[in-house]
Amino acid sequence: MSTQTYTQIELLSANGTVLRRVSTAGPRLPTEDETPIIDLAPIDGTLGERKALASRIKAASENTGFFNIRNHGIPNELIQNSLSQAKTFFDQPLNLKETFSMRYDPRIDPTCTDPRSALGQGKFREDGDYIWKGTSHLPGFREVTVSFWQSRLALARKLVCIFALALGEREDNFDDITSHPGADALYIHYPGIPDVAADSDIDVGIGSHTDIQCFTLLWQDNSGGLQVLSAQDEWLDARPIEGTLVVNIGDFLQGLSNNKFKSTVHGVYNRQLDSRYSMPFFFGFNPEAVCKVVPSCVDDEHPPLYEPISCGEETCREDDSKTESFSSDEYNVRFTTKLDAPLPDIEEAVSACSESSLALTPSAWLREGVCPVLDSESVTPAAAERCGLKPLAQELAASVSTAMLNLMECPEGTWQTIQQPCLAKEESIGMPRRGSGPGLVWAAVLAAVASLLL
Ligand SMILES: O=C(O)CCC(=O)C(=O)O
Ligand SMILES: [Fe+2]
């Protein structure tokens, strides 16, 4: 009889690092209940139909916190057009970025009747245009990307009403706090792994993490590679299902539900020769809206587990905890922007790493505007074994630091001192956004590393 064994992984949360038990077994196929396919057509039906839909979504949210939606109303043609725009963006000869991101902008929100005054209230940073500057030469890029964003914003606003019902509240419960919501959209490219490196430990992907806002709408291509943690702490293979979008619960909604809904732990790997593409959309409440655990999830036996907090504040708190060190559950090299951290010595860190440590997939956000520095002291002693790549350390160090600095739009040449981290150029584009998802700069770093190994 085989016995299940478990290990612990570190997850970054608003309250710092938390440990989570995970099975050491490889991913298995999920059961129907673990990652259900939910038909969203009733979202436009009668109240009774919407309530029935809410109860399916409630069950999924209390189980894995992950489900697939069919009949979501976003035309396949729009999705395919966005995908081809994303591919064109990443295929540009001099492109070094592996993500493109945009966020809420009242000027493109069809429900916002007075964008000027919305901007004037200072609730969002007026950065709406600079992200497009580097893409104006790509025909249709901005139009298609905005249109896909708008269709997901509309869908998310409908879905949040169903979540309100699922929580036992009125369906208009969140209307006031979704007028200028967190709505961050990303195009992500995971480069393929070249043949030679296929049997090495190198991975392109995003390590285990949870999303921080309310929920995520994700389109993934047919590559596979998305893994989610089940309620029994087993990894599930969340295979792409034609015609569906993934929905997963984020930390904020878990908090609001007093932990009834599960913020899904998930990660992504691309272990194939071909590129993988995905297009997530992270939805949260108005950044300044202070929310408390919903009354329907609190009683004498279940006192509120969380203090009132706003989505924006939570994002900042997460940022603070996450910028101290960028690390993953599997790897040992850490990057930090902590001010009193020692000076970076990437070469020494690379020399001290095991081969697998070179595959950096930190589950962390990058603080906007601050470039990363390497905290070489964080390389753990265990990592000092198996240093087959040591002779390449210097070259690897140069590649990694160049790729990192390029991606952060920081001046090339040297790593910054931690006492004085460099500020990213104002007009940087495609940066992983605060509050959107884990930084994926690593895919390009890995591409640089992988090319060295050839
Ligand atoms: O690429 C994917 O399939 C998921 C990406 C993701 O989990 C994220 O960006 O938070
Ligand atoms: Fe995610």
Closest CA to 352 of 391, 325, 330, 379: 379
Residue 207 is predicted with a pLDDT of 79
In short, whether 278's Cβ falls inside 6 Å of ligand 1 is: yes
How far is the C-alpha of 79 from the C-alpha of 285, rounded, in Å?
24
Q: Are the C-beta atoms of 189 and 277 separated by less than 8 Å?
A: yes
Question: Looking at ligand 1, which residue's alpha carbon is closest to its atom 4?
Answer: 268
Residue 289 is predicted with a pLDDT of 86
The predicted-structure confidence for 177-203, as pLDDT tens digits, reads as follows: 999 999 999 999 888 877 645 555 556
Give the residue with greater pLDDT, 238 vs 320: 238
In short, whether 372's Cβ falls inside 6 Å of ligand 1 is: no
Highest mean pLDDT among 6-10, 115-119, 126-130: 6-10
pLDDT of 252 higher than 70: yes
pLDDT of 215 higher than 90: yes
Q: Which of these ranges, 102-116, 359-373, 412-426, has the smallest mean pLDDT? A: 359-373
Instruction: Look at residue 61 and tell me if it is in a domain.
Output: yes
Supply the range of the domain harboring residue 65. 22-316
Tokens of 172: 């208009």
Residue 182 is predicted with a pLDDT of 92
Over the range 101-138, which residues count as b (16 or more CB within 10 Å of their CB) and which as e?
bbbbbbebbeebeeeeebbeeeebeeebeebeebbeee
In short, whether 178's Cβ falls inside 6 Å of ligand 1 is: no
Q: Are the C-beta atoms of 265 and 227 separated by less than 8 Å?
A: no
Residue 334 is predicted with a pLDDT of 47
Number of domains in the chain: 1
In short, whether 437's Cβ falls inside 6 Å of ligand 1 is: yes
Instruction: Look at residue 447 and tell me if it is in a domain.
Output: no
Residue 131 is predicted with a pLDDT of 78
Q: How far does residue 101's CA lie from ligand 1's centre (Å)?
A: 13
Could you tell me the pLDDT band of residue 115, with boundaries at 50, 70 and 90?
confident
Give the residue with greater pLDDT, 131 vs 421: 131
Closest CA to 95 of 103, 87, 106, 107: 87
Q: How far does residue 438's CA lie from ligand 2's centre (Å)?
A: 7
Instruction: Look at residue 163 and tell me if it is in a domain.
Output: yes
Q: How far does residue 105's CA lie from ligand 1's centre (Å)?
A: 22
Number of the ligand 1 atom closest to the C-alpha atom of 216:
10
Q: How far does residue 256's CA lie from ligand 1's centre (Å)?
A: 22
Q: How far does residue 230's CA lie from ligand 2's centre (Å)?
A: 15
How far is the C-alpha of 12 from the C-alpha of 8, rounded, in Å?
13
Residue 96 is predicted with a pLDDT of 59
The predicted-structure confidence for 314-351, as pLDDT tens digits, reads as follows: 664 444 333 333 333 333 344 554 555 555 566 666 56
Residue 75 is part of a domain; what is its CATH number? 2.60.120.330
Whose structure tokens read 């994700």? 218
Question: Looking at ligand 1, which residue's alpha carbon is closest to its atom 1?
Answer: 278
Ligand nearest to the CA of 210: 2
Could you tell me the pLDDT band of residue 116, with boundaries at 50, 70 and 90?
confident
Instruction: Look at residue 416 and tell me if it is in a domain.
Output: no
Instruction: Look at residue 131 and tell me if it is in a domain.
Output: yes
Provide the residues around ligand 2 (an ion) whose CB is within 5 A: 211
In short, whether 268's Cβ falls inside 6 Å of ligand 1 is: yes
In short, whether 280's Cβ falls inside 6 Å of ligand 1 is: yes
Number of the ligand 1 atom closest to the C-alpha atom of 220:
3
Could you tell me the pLDDT band of residue 311, with boundaries at 50, 70 and 90?
confident
Question: Looking at ligand 1, which residue's alpha carbon is closest to its atom 9?
Answer: 437
Tokens of 345: 């010595």
Number of the ligand 1 atom closest to the C-alpha atom of 188:
1
Residue 124 is predicted with a pLDDT of 57
Could you tell me the pLDDT band of residue 271, with boundaries at 50, 70 and 90?
confident
Could you tell me the pLDDT band of residue 399, with boundaries at 50, 70 and 90?
low
Q: How far does residue 309's CA lie from ligand 1's centre (Å)?
A: 25
Pocket mutation for ligand 1, best pick of 186, 223, 278, 361 (most atoms within 8 Å of C-beta): 278
Supply the mean pLDDT for the chain.
75
Q: Which of these ranges, 116-125, 227-236, 385-394, 397-406, has the smallest mean pLDDT? A: 385-394
Instruction: Look at residue 70 and tell me if it is in a domain.
Output: yes
Ligand nearest to the CA of 440: 1
pLDDT of 67 higher than 80: yes
Question: What's the rounded mean pLDDT across residues 139-162?
Answer: 98
Instruction: Look at residue 37 and tell me if it is in a domain.
Output: yes
Residue 93 is predicted with a pLDDT of 77
Question: What's the rounded mean pLDDT across residues 67-96?
Answer: 92
Q: How far does residue 434's CA lie from ligand 2's centre (Å)?
A: 13
In short, whether 220's Cβ falls inside 6 Å of ligand 1 is: yes
Instruction: Look at residue 12 and tell me if it is in a domain.
Output: no
Q: Which of these ranges, 8-22, 291-305, 358-372, has the smallest mean pLDDT? A: 358-372
Residue 273 is predicted with a pLDDT of 87
Residue 434 is predicted with a pLDDT of 27
Q: How far does residue 280's CA lie from ligand 1's centre (Å)?
A: 6
